[in-house]
Each structure stands twice: as C-alpha cells, then as structure tokens.
Amino acid sequence: MRGSNRGMSLFRTIGIATAALMAILTAGGTQAQNAAKPDPAKVEAGENVYNDYCQTCHGQNLVSTGQTFDLRKLKPEERERFLRAVLMGKGQMPPWKGVLEDAQIDAVWAYVMSRGG
C-alpha cells in the first residue's frame, strides 16, 4: 500500500516537473524565435518609419553611402546604443525624441535587426 502511494506521488511530481519544463522550453523557444526573426508586421512598420525619417541620411535599404553610420553594423546587444543615439541625437543627427513615438523607434530597431545584427 505505502509503496504504491509513493509511486503515485512520484508520478505526480514528475508530471508537474514535466509541465514546468515544457513551459520553460516553450517560453525559451518563443524568445529565441523573436530574436532571430522579428515580427514581420513590426519590421514593415519600421521600414516605413525608416524610409520617412532616416533614409535620406542613412541610405536606401539601410545601406550607408559612407557619410553616415551604417545601421546594419549594429549588433542585437547594441539596442541601448541605438536607442540613446536615436533619442538624444548624435553629431550631425538630430534627436528624434518627441518626433517619433517609442513604438516607431522600436519598429525601426526591428527593421534594422531584420537586415543586419
């Protein structure tokens, strides 16, 4: 009797552990997918913002003509650097804070990451 009870609870523990592991794996998988492949709708929105506000200086399709920083050089871990430069401006580049909404800047980042990184 005691033996079979113990067996049951062990079985339940494994069940819970498996569920927890599955949840972690699923969450991790989604995150990895996001990093590699940004949301296409967001990338497209970012491309539009880029074409309207950034392209004149940073070049068509993110390809810099050499006068400005080539945004494709930005690495995924340089999001902070990107945000700081875009919000505060840098050198000849004006600050975009107040001109663009956070969501628009975030979309441009997704666009940049879809091309470079």
The site for ligand HEC (CB under 6 A) is made up of 53-54, 56-58, 68-69, 71, 81-82, 85-86, 90-93, 96, 100, 108
Pick 12 or 103: Cβ nearer ligand HEC = 103
Which lies closer to ligand HEC via its Cβ, residue 66 or residue 91? Answer: 91
Nearest residue (CB) to ligand HEC, 12 versus 81: 81
Separation between Cα atoms, residue 117 and residue 95, nearest integer Å = 23
Helix axes 102-115, 40-53, angle to 10 degrees: 100
Shortest Cβ 29–ligand HEC spacing (Å): 29
- Minimum CB separation of residue 45 from ligand HEC in Å reads 13
Q: DSSP for 47-63, please give it.
A: HHHHHHHTHHHH-GGG-
Nearest to 115 by CA among 80, 68, 54, 63: 63
CA distances for 4 relative to 10, 15, 16, 98, angstroms: 10, 16, 19, 67
CB of 36 to ligand HEC, least distance (A): 21
The smaller minimum CB distance to ligand HEC, of residues 45 and 100, is found at 100
